Amino acid sequence: MATNKALQVNVEGAKELRETLKAMGDRRLLAELSSDNQEIAQMIVVDAQKRASTHREQLVASSMTVTKSSKVVQVRLPRLIQVTDKQGRGMRPVGMGTEFGAKYQRRLVKNTGGRATIVRDEEDISKVIKRVEAQTRMGFDTVPKRARKAWNATPVKVTKIIIGWKGYRPWKGRGDQAGYFLFPAIRNNREKAIEMYVKSIEKVWNKTKAA
């Protein structure tokens, strides 16, 4: 799971409590602690699903899972989800890109089809276009300009400049503003989650003293 250290919380005494429960062999209280953690994680999932705005975000948010653990409150983005795109229908690893976005690239679409030409950050786009349009294509092959007529080849022309990356929103993967739906939900519920977690620890601890 992707993590943000600024969002991680360590509750003093939580580790010692788990060790005490294990030493006591009290699986019932450990399970209770795990269930409370799962409830907190589910609260975050519900909020994240409400924040998902695009179709792909909603697909990813609806596929998130929570981990039942006495150690952590954990929500997982799906590694693969079923999507339909230009490549067809299938399982795609789009979870991380959907949550955090992608760094934008400049891509040149050509009249001859095929993979778009990527313009790197340091490159002058006009020079790249000139270089691309100096080509002549015949099927998958590049033929010399002088052979264009003889081969009945097609002069390459840039028909579109795309700024973006495969349907993802702009990169939002670092700092306090990271994420589009899950991480904002974590930040929004952080104080409430801490309060619920501390209450759970106190409840279970009191039960160990009463045992």
**Residue 14 located in a structural domain:** yes
Residues 129 and 150 in one domain: yes
**Residue 202 located in a structural domain:** yes
**Helix and strand element counts for the chain (H, E):** 7, 10
**Residue 109 located in a structural domain:** yes
Residues 117 and 193 in one domain: no
The structure's pTM equals: 0.68
In DSSP notation, 69-119 reads -SS--EEE--S-EEEEETTEEEEE--HHHHHH-B--EEEEEETT-SSPEEE
Residues 96 and 10 in one domain: yes
Q: How many domains does the chain have?
A: 2
Residues 132 and 64 in one domain: no
Q: In angstroms, what CA-CA distances link 143 with 42, 134, 169?
A: 59, 10, 38
- Predicted local confidence at residue 45, as pLDDT: 96
Residues 94 and 23 in one domain: yes
- Predicted local confidence at residue 87, as pLDDT: 65
Statement: residue 47 has pLDDT above 90: yes
Half-sphere exposure of 75 (CA within 13 A, CB side): 30
Which residues span the domain enclosing 26? 5-101+179-210
Statement: residue 4 has pLDDT above 60: no
- Predicted local confidence at residue 1, as pLDDT: 45
